[in-house]
Every structure is written in structure tokens, then in C-alpha cells.
């Protein structure tokens, strides 16, 4: 269709992580580890697998360790060289973004997701971009964002990733209405409803924390009034944008773990550990033993 390529992704990492206190008093929630990598690394890997070239982190006070993580640590690398720890050196090198492809900007006041996205406006510029919530990590053969980009290449406009939930739980999520099917994995979005009253949801498809948005969203967010929680909500901005632009849904069929919640974080550690050939044999037996005693 000739639309612009999705080159940039925004990661709103300024959140305080209150659901994980006291750990997040000193450690950003995005740096909590799932097996042996911080949560944010999984999300960045997903973006890289989708062809993202520029990673934009919207940070806040106390989040400097995230910037340090995506930088070279000379003392550590020198020590690894001296001890011939070549595998570890290669691992660190492979995780490091290419120089100049990671940008960091501050959200001085926590005014919500919409405000955090707006803070990235000058770095993103006048081109479509992705937003990935750093709490949510996905497990699938094809990365969630990659599937979204493939759908975007067909449809243009804006693309949201969605998953199915139990219809009885639809009132807990941001739900979309279903329109015409697009390819094998997508459909047109006819409406978006944030936490609909029980029995009123237009479907059981909920937005799962991955977005591809056109740059016109920035102008909307600039004057967006505060909504739920007295915050500038991205959903409100998308509803305004939907009046003039199309939205499509990518139906993600993998596993999603909300690592901002204790249960999701624990389940993510178990799931990713059991997928590892080097770890599964060490924990599968003990896990069965623990659960058999419960």
C-alpha cells in the first residue's frame, strides 16, 4: 500500500511498579528478571524481531539503571576478557543495541500512558510507530509485534494486538468490536470500550499492550483531557483518532504474561524456564514434588 515502514518503537518505562513493592522501591520493575534476563529485554527482543530500528524509552526518576543496562560496562567486559569468558562476552554484545539506536526521554510527572507516549513525540517525528507496554511479555513462534507489522503492511492505518478472554471477564479489559476479517489473523475494529459494564461488551477480544499508531495521535494527546484515574489515557486518544483513521486488530494466539503482577511474573519465570533445555531438567522434578505436597 506504500505506507511508511514501522522503524521506531516506544517503551513507556516510567511507571512506579507499586504492585511489586517493596522490591521496586530500589529496582525498576522492568529490571526484574525472568529466568536470567530483565523483563525489558524480552520486550526489546520482540521489537527487534519485528524489524524495529530505533528504541525509544520514556523513563522517570530512579530509572537510570535501564539506560545503564543498554550501555557498555567496561569494567565487567574487561574482567570477562581476562578470564576468557567468551560466551558471556558474546551474550552481552548480542544484547547491546547498535550505537545511536536507543533514545531516552523523561516523563517528569506520571500522568498516564497517553502522556508517556506523547513525551516521545519529538524523537518519533512524523512517522507511524509501535508502542510496547514493558510489563507484558509474549511467548510465541512469531513475535506479536512482527505479526502486527505484517498486518499493517496490508492495511496501513493503526493496528492493535488483541487476545480472547472469557466473556465473563470482558468487563476487566479494554474491549474491541469486530468488523470485517483482514487476512487470516486480523479484523477491522468497529469500536473500543474500556472496561465495559457486565453484559455489554461488543466482543471478548481485549487489547493486550501492543500498538501501531499513526503520528497524528500526538496532536490529539497534546490537548487530551484527563480521563480515568485523573490521567491522560491512550485509549481516549485512540478513540478520537478512530474518528478519522481506521483501526485493525491482530489476533495474537500465543501466551502473554503480565509481569507487573505477582502471579504473571511467577508464571512467566516458570514458563520460560521450562522452555530452556539447560534449565528444564533441573526444575521439572522439584516442581512436581512441590506441587504434589500442596
Q: Would you write out the chain's pLDDT as a tens digit for each of its 294 residues? A: 467 899 999 999 988 788 888 888 888 999 999 999 999 999 999 999 999 999 999 998 888 899 999 988 889 889 989 898 888 888 888 888 888 899 999 998 878 899 999 999 999 999 999 999 999 999 988 899 999 999 999 999 999 999 998 888 888 888 999 998 987 889 999 988 888 888 888 999 999 999 999 999 999 998 877 766 667 889 899 999 999 999 999 999 999 999 988 999 999 999 999 999 999 999 988 998 998 887
Q: Rounded to whole angstroms, how far apart are CA atoms 291 and 294?
A: 5
Q: Sketch the domain layout of the chain as residue ranges.
A: 6-290
For 181, phi and psi rounded to 5 degrees? -70, 145
In terms of Cβ atoms closer than 10 Å to its own Cβ (0-12, 13-18, 19+), residue 275 is: exposed
**Helices 39-49 and 144-155, interaxial angle, to 10°?**
30
C-alpha cell, 154 = 496490508
Q: Per-residue DSSP letters for 242-255? A: TTTS-EEEEE--SE
Residue 242: CB atoms within 10 Å:
16
Residue 200: CB atoms within 10 Å:
10
3-state secondary structure of 284: helix
3-state secondary structure of 232: coil
Q: Rounded to whole angstroms, how far apart are CA atoms 60 and 58?
A: 7
Q: Rounded to whole angstroms, how far apart are CA atoms 44 and 70?
A: 10
Count CA atoms within 13 Å of residue 272 on its CB side.
20
pLDDT at 98: 85
Query: Does residue 192 contact residue 245 with C-beta atoms inside 8 Å?
Result: no
Which helix (H) or strand (E) segment is 210 a member of? Answer: strand 205-213
3-state secondary structure of 40: helix
Q: What CATH class does 6-290 carry?
A: alpha beta
Residue pointed to by grid coordinates 480472547: 164
pLDDT at 147: 95
- In terms of Cα–Cα distance, which of 48, 62, 49, 54 is closest to 14? 62
In terms of Cβ atoms closer than 10 Å to its own Cβ (0-12, 13-18, 19+), residue 29 is: buried
pLDDT at 96: 83
Count CA atoms within 13 Å of residue 281 on its CB side.
2
Amino acid at each position: 500500500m506504500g505506507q511508511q515502514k514501522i522503524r521506531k518503537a516506544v517503551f513507556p518505562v516510567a511507571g512506579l511498579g507499586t504492585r511489586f513493592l517493596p522490591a521496586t522501591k530500589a529496582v525498576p520493575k522492568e529490571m526484574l528478571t525472568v529466568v536470567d534476563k530483565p523483563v525489558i529485554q524480552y520486550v526489546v527482543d520482540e521489537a527487534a524481531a519485528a524489524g524495529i530500528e530505533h528504541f525509544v524509552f520514556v523513563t522517570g526518576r530512579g530509572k537510570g539503571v535501564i539506560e545503564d543496562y543498554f550501555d557498555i560496562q567496561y569494567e565487567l567486559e574487561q574482567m570477562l576478557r581476562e578470564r576468557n569468558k567468551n560466551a558471556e562476552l558474546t551474550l552481552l554484545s548480542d544484547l547491546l543495541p547498535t550505537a545511536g539506536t536507543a533514545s531516552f526521554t523523561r516523563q517528569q510527572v506520571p500522568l498516564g500512558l497517553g502522556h508517556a507516549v506523547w513525551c516521545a513525540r519529538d524523537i518519533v517525528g512524523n512517522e507511524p510507530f509501535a508502542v510496547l507496554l514493558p510489563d507484558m511479555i509474549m511467548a510465541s513462534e512469531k513475535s506479536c509485534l512482527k505479526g502486527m507489522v505484517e498486518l499493517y503492511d496490508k492495511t496501513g492505518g493503526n493496528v492493535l494486538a488483541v487476545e480472547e478472554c472469557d466473556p465473563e471477564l470482558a468487563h476487566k479489559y479494554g474491549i474491541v468490536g469486530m468488523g470485517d476479517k483482514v487476512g487470516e489473523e486480523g479484523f477491522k475494529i468497529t469500536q473500543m470500550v474500556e472496561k465495559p459494564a457486565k453484559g455489554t461488551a461488543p466482543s471478548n477480544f481485549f487489547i493486550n499492550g501492543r500498538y501501531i499508531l499513526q503520528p497524528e495521535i500526538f496532536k490529539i494527546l497534546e490537548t487530551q483531557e484527563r480521563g480515568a484515574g485523573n490521567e491522560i489515557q491512550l485509549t481516549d486518544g485512540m478513540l478520537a483518532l478512530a474518528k478519522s483513521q481506521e483501526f485493525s486488530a491482530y489476533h495474537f494466539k500465543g501466551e502473554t504474561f503480565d509481569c507487573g503482577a505477582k502471579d504473571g511474573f511467577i508464571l512467566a519465570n516458570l514458563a520460560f524456564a521450562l522452555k530452556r533445555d539447560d534449565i528444564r531438567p533441573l526444575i521439572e522434578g522439584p516442581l512436581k514434588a512441590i506441587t504434589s505436597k500442596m
